[in-house]
Amino acid sequence: MSLPSVLTLIINRKSGSLPSEAIDIARSLVKGSAPVILSDGEAVDIPCPTPAPGAATETTIRAALAPYKVDAVLTKTRGRRKAVLIADMDSTIVTSETLDEIAALLGFGEKVAEITRASMAGELDFDASLKKRVSLLKGQSSAVLESVWKDTKLTDGALELVRTMHKNNARTALVSGGFTWFTERVAKLCGFDEHYGNILDIKDGKITGELAGPILDPDAKLTYLQTITQERGVQLKAALTTGDGANDIPMLSHAGLGIAFHAKPKVKQLISRQVNFADLRAHLFIQGYKASDFVVD
């Protein structure tokens, strides 16, 4: 009979191999059984009992493994593989903040980046900060969007994450506080089933400085999570959500598996399951997929 919980350890492949010492420390902390290799030198599962009162928490485990730069996520064995994936776009599926990149090309990047930073850290109201940033684009040529897109890069593991879950019958959605101009392209590139974002108003090749439609804010992200899971015919516990900013907190906290991915401090304070070192492949390992299960092309 399998143990009811599992601790997954993942290291960033670019930084070396998963140290045996880290595995031993983690195994001792959770009173786990022999590790199961998910990817040689990159990820292992440590089956373990359900944590008892006073047992090591994910925070404690992360602290113990901090010198090794190893991510550790504790989940229940049952229902690990999720039927829904909802991902943030900026600084999650792609490496950059697309609105900041637009502003940088136009010469006022620092001003917009500071507003973005404060918003993602939860220091500014999301709706107000987005309107303020968009207003700064008024009168600019929409050609700047193409220039930003040419330099936009996917985060390592993005294709594997989306395509592997899609192959295993999960419904996948990109839900972003950014612009649909970008979500449409990123969704097509990665293979997301659907995408949602804010509609940047463009007239006669010029950005008007307004949004065409309601703002996709933190509450809207949660609503998409609830709607998509209902349409898929599953409960919220069957959903995986991932993101890095304060506007992702509602969907991260309500999903069965909400992962703070290289997240802002406020997000880390509230979301216990975190990936701070590894790439997006970690989301598959956490669900119990082995590297040999990944769709890589």
- Catalytic residue numbers? 88, 90
DSSP string, 245-259: SGGGHHHHHHSSEEE
Tokens representing residue 209 in the block? 């400085």
In whole angstroms, give the CA distance from residue 104 to residue 109.
Answer: 4
Contact yes or no for 285/43 (Cβ under 8 A): yes
Which is it for the CA torsion 221, 172, 184, 267, positive or negative?
Answer: positive
| Residues ≥6 apart with Cβ < 8 Å to 18 | 9, 10, 11, 41, 42, 43, 44, 70
CA distance 100 to 53: 45
Q: Where would I find the beta strands (DSSP E) of the chain?
A: 5-11, 36-39, 43-48, 70-76, 84-87, 171-179, 194-198, 200-203, 206-211, 239-243, 257-261, 274-275
Q: What is the DSSP-derived secondary structure letter of residue 291?
A: G
Decide if 202 contacts 209 (C-beta within 8 A): no
